[in-house]
Chain A
Amino acid sequence: DADVTQTPRNRITKTGKRIMLECSQTKGHDRMYWYRQDPGLGLRLIYYSFDVKDINKGEISDGYSVSRQAQAKFSLSLESAIPNQTALYFCATSDFRGGYPDTQYFGPGTRLTVL
């Protein structure tokens, strides 16, 4: 079984709809991240969480919200989806309790299309 899972894997929705993307991990890592990837722009950080009670905005958090329901679960919501949120979304985890290097491991991704 995969260590980091994302659901759904693909989603097509309409402008204005609320969407939730879910991420679960069995790696036991403390840190979780949400990224979006657009062609030519690389990975951009949306939100990150260092533990259940810690949520932080990344570089492109506008229009998104997150919830860390448990150490193993981190959800990303689009309250009112818009077409420029069409992208590939990745969840990632890392384990910093042992210090560096804090390597990030990625889920399989969710391809979201907003019409």
Chain B
Amino acid sequence: QKEVEQNSGPLSVPEGAIASLNCTYSDRVSQSFFWYRQYSGKSPELIMSIYSNGDKEDGRFTAQLNKASQYVSLLIRDSQPSDSATYLCAVRDGGFKTIFGAGTRLFVKA
């Protein structure tokens, strides 16, 4: 059974701090990795995708991938109250399937 694991949280950080969200996956042949943001009652919205080991930066967001450790993370710099949401990690395996983690709830305190 292929799995994607995330800490459910809630992760609480003060406004302006760095929020660090983590995800581990079980399938070693996974190819693509995604972070989605989901506000309560809304649909998941793609934040970033990453395919190669290392860091990928987009504005205040940095995704980090370590395939040897089967670990992917998302850093949010200068966190804002509007970043308060559930963050879903998704992993596309070597076949066709994308598996979603259950998500980490982030709360940014003003």
Interface residues, chain A, with chain B CB atoms under 8 Å away = 40-43, 45, 50, 88, 90, 100-109, 111
Contact = CB atoms under 8 A, between A and B. Distances in A.
A108 B100 contact: no
Given A40-B8, A42-B102, A103 B42 contact: no
Contacts, number: 48
B34 A109 contact: no
10 contacts: A40-B8, A41-B102, A88-B41, A90-B44, A101-B51, A104-B98, A106-B45, A108-B43, A109-B41, A111-B41
Interface of B: 8, 31-32, 34, 41-46, 49, 51, 88, 90, 92, 96-98, 100-103
A106 B45 CA distance: 7
| Dominant secondary structure of chain B at its interface with chain A | loop
A106 B43 contact: yes
A41 B41 CA distance: 14
A101 B101 CA distance: 18
B32 to A, nearest CB: 4
Contact of B42 (A43, A101, A102, A108): A108
Nearest to A44: B100
A109 B32 contact: no
Most B CB within 10 A of own CB, among A41, A50, A100, A101 = A101
Nearest to A91: B43
Given A90-B43, A103-B46, A42 B101 contact: yes
Return the 7 tightest CB-CB contacts between A and B, nearest first: A42-B102, A101-B32, A106-B43, A43-B100, A106-B44, A109-B43, A42-B100
Nearest to B31: A100
Contacts of B100: 42-43
Contact of A101 (B44, B92, B103): B92
B102 A104 contact: no
Contacts of B51: 100-101
Nearest to B6: A42
Nearest to A6: B43
A42 B102 CA distance: 4
Contacts of A90: 43-44
